[in-house]
Chain A
Amino acid sequence: MPQTLNDTAGWAPLALASDIMTATSAGTVWNGDEIVIWRDSAGRVHAWEDRCPHRGMKLSFGFVRGDRIACLYHGWEYDSAAACRYIPAHPELDVPATIRVARYKAVEALGMIWVAPLDQPGPAPVDQTQVNALRSLQVDAPLARLTQVFVTHGLPGLGLVRDVVADGAVIRLTQGAVRLVAGLHPVDDATSMLHIAVEGACTQQALAALVPATAALRRLAETGVAGAA
């Protein structure tokens, strides 16, 4: 029996895979925890606590070199196991193995990057279905509110929402001929993200035409929410 995402509780979609290019890094926040997502030069994805153990600088401000990420402040370099391997101010030093960054598990599935705590026992998402990445949409509203607006209106203006399926941290729904899949990402109590993709065949032109509807979803979800943009 194929895996459903309900089996993968504890795993969260934090980015569209195509938004994190090889040898780049990006910061994000998951339930208040700051996380850096980065791809090494071989394209493997990593997710760590977004903090250099040296001075607390965000590693997402840093840069990727080969299979290492380097901190912007003082250039400390960490390998793919999150161990510090090089300190520019002390080039001869054999860096102590205790200097490490806290890691998360990270996998790619359904066109998204999924992250879970290292001690998360459940299975990782494995769905390798090809999807068309639309966009990651950040909204000034709690995830519950954004989810409720999305399952009710989909992307506003695209027609009646049908075939809504909630599967773990993903919602699927159909509007007209458009089949949407959205990863649910709580940022903090007041902010959330949807990582939205289109399933099945879809032209680039059709994807471009969907962008205004995603902005309409953002406006609708923020309507009446205190402090929203």
Chain B
Amino acid sequence: MMTNPTLWNYDLDDACYRVRLMASLSGVTLDLRSVDAFPGNEHLGDEMLALNPLGRLPVLEHGALTLCQTEAILLHLARIGPRGAAFVPSDDAGAARMRDWLFFGARDLAAPSQARAVAMLGAAGDAGALNHAARHGLRLLEDHMTAQGFRGQGFVAGARATVADIALFPAFALCRDFNLDHDAFPALRLWARRVRQLDGFITMPGIPDYH
């Protein structure tokens, strides 16, 4: 696995951004292959469906590996990157918490990404129901980060950023794209600021570069 991983990438897709961000934080150089997901729908064409039958981005190829699940890609980058180990707790409890919040992001906080795709990228879906679900999920994360603040833990799984923070970050950072303001989420605002201050942080359209 000496070659760089290849990311099949669409710049405005928040899941692709998570991969680029994790790679940057971990010190992994990606070879980017652009996919015209919107409006071109190239991710649904024969070439991309042969690679990922789910018809979804991101896809990461690395040697003989083809990975189609965002969280699995993030964990792989943290494992191979020279700075990646810092994002995976070495203690059992910390690692378990990281995975718990990773699955929270994949299952219980899936709505923000879908709501944004409906609002911006021509995806089909019930905007009202998705916005409602997105807000509910972000409230639960806000409740958690409020309590974490009193525990002296600035990130979702502990005092240090883990892969879970990177997986969850765009759900909040990009929620204005589907007209959900940050006003109701003071703890998430402070958390997002800490994520932005990580060494190697990069932005995407909708997440401005200013600190």
Q: Which residues of A contact B (CB under 8 A)?
A: 15-16, 19, 21, 24, 26-29, 61-63, 72, 135-136, 138, 187, 193, 204-205, 207-208, 211-212, 214-215, 218, 229
Contacts and interface: CB of A to CB of B under 8 A. Distances in A.
A143 to B, nearest CB: 15
B210 A19 contact: no
Interface residues of B, number: 23
B186 A229 contact: no
Interface in B78-133: 132
Contact of B150 (A15, A193, A207, A218): A207
Interface stretch (B20-28, B139-147, B167-175): B139-147
Interface stretch (B3-11, B30-38, B57-65, B177-185): B177-185
Q: Which DSSP category, helix, strand, loop or mixed, fits chain A's interface?
A: mixed
Contacts of B210: 62-63, 72
A136 B186 contact: yes
A138 B150 CA distance: 19
B211 A63 contact: yes
Given A29-B183, A211-B146, A19 B190 contact: yes
Contacts of A19: 186, 189-190
B183 A138 contact: yes
A26 B189 CA distance: 9
Interface in B196-210: 208, 210
B18 interface: no
Contact of A205 (B135, B150, B182, B184): B150
A145 B77 CA distance: 49
Contacts of A16: 186
Nearest to A16: B186
Contacts of B187: 135
A208 B183 contact: no
